[in-house]
Amino acid sequence: MQQTTTTSFRKLCAEHGIAVTHQRQVLYEVMHGMEGHPSPEEVYAKVKKKVPAISLATVYKNIHLFVESGIFRKMSMHHGSVRVEMNSEAHHHMVCSRCKAITDIGEEELGLAPSRNKLPGGFLVERYSVDVIGLCEKCQQA
Amino acid sequence: MQQTTTTSFRKLCAEHGIAVTHQRQVLYEVMHGMEGHPSPEEVYAKVKKKVPAISLATVYKNIHLFVESGIFRKMSMHHGSVRVEMNSEAHHHMVCSRCKAITDIGEEELGLAPSRNKLPGGFLVERYSVDVIGLCEKCQQA
DNA sequence: TAAAAGATGATAAAAGTTATCCTTCAATAA
DNA sequence: TTATTGAAGGATAACTTTTATCATCTTTTA
Ligand SMILES: [Mn+2]
Ligand SMILES: [Mn+2]
Ligand SMILES: [Zn+2]
Ligand SMILES: [Zn+2]
């Protein structure tokens, strides 16, 4: 089983053209086994139990690497700072995955019909916030 | 006109039960006139031109105040740190506006039909990321 | 107009992230 | 298998964003 895991991680790395290291493998396995949407600090705390000498910088570097190579993805666009919305119209956002430009798009233009107002688990809907991830026109050319 | 603006800001403050200060008024007017989704630093830079002595802390405090009192809103949920997604299924998120708990919800469960793949401005859609903002069951009781 | 409550400004501190630099390790070829 | 070389890791400084603290000043209200 250990052998199998190791082998499949080697394969994953080969597919993505990244080197296999012990830290990377443990990090991958720990992250893979985590529920929800952990922060880098939470990942670090868990990995440290298996590789006590690991550095927080290594965790950050490899989280980025995993995200860039498509092994995992970011939960949502994370802007360095909080952003305020002054447009009070009901609208959503187009986010360019390359240049990170954010453009408003009206609810009708987007053509989204939020149906339910109660969701599984008894969650009561207040509003929907849709980020459309994709490429802006400029970035499609480049 | 200046008089009118001042009067309407006083009214807005009264409605939201917050005190009227010079800094607050200038901040509100500057933010109201800004395009897009500025960061606190960008707001600070602009306000400083009109009130050179204003402190960055005041800008932060009042942005929070404006958001809490519903005058403006946050562009999107901003978590203190980057969050990684290990669930590779196509899914979206229910975000509790009170306790900030994030729960996965499958695409079908949500009942969302993303139709177009080209949007205004030539934006090419890669994927949709929907945050449903609302109250989780626990927070509805409290 | 005076007292109380609240807001501001300066600045320290905390939290999150990135950069630097030296050491160690993994990939590759001899 | 071993030597070489580029890549990766570890320690830590530095940077960015945000919050906390506290003395001073301004609004509110009575
Ligand atoms: Mn917007
Ligand atoms: Mn998720
Ligand atoms: Zn772009
Ligand atoms: Zn909740």
A49 pLDDT more than 90: yes
From residue B106, alpha-carbon distances to A87, B11, B97, B114, B131 in Å are 29, 44, 20, 14, 12
- Structure tokens belonging to residue B115: 């139709």
Window 30-69 of A: residues touching B by CB (8 A cutoff) are: 31-32, 34, 36-41, 43, 63, 66-67
Question: Is the CB of A41 less than 7 A from some atom of nucleic acid strand C?
Answer: yes
Tell me the average pLDDT across A16-39: 97
Which among B82, B94, B102 is the nearest to A78, CB-wise? B82
A1 pLDDT more than 60: no
- A125 DSSP β-pair partners: B134
A24 pLDDT more than 80: yes
pLDDT digits (tens, 9 = 90+) for A53-94: 999 999 999 999 999 999 999 998 778 899 999 999 989 999
Q: The whole model's pTM is what?
A: 0.90
Architecture of domain B89-141: 2-Layer Sandwich (3.30)
What's the rounded Cα separation, in Å, for the pair B136 and B139? 5
Instruction: Mean pLDDT check: name the lowest of A12-16, A107-111, B22-26.
Output: A107-111
- Structure tokens belonging to residue A36: 């929800």
The answer to whether A119 contacts B109, with C-beta atoms less than 8 Å apart, is yes
For the domain bounded by B2-79, which CATH number is listed?
A: 1.10.10.10
Looking at this protein, which amino acid is placed at residue A128? Y
pLDDT digits (tens, 9 = 90+) for B69-81: 999 999 987 788 9
Positions of CATH 1.10.10.10 in chain A: 2-79
Positions of CATH 3.30.1490.190 in chain B: 89-141
Helix (H, G, I), strand (E, B) or coil at A91: strand
Residue nearest to nucleotide D27 (CA to C1'): B19
The answer to whether A112 contacts B112, with C-beta atoms less than 8 Å apart, is yes
A133 pLDDT more than 90: no
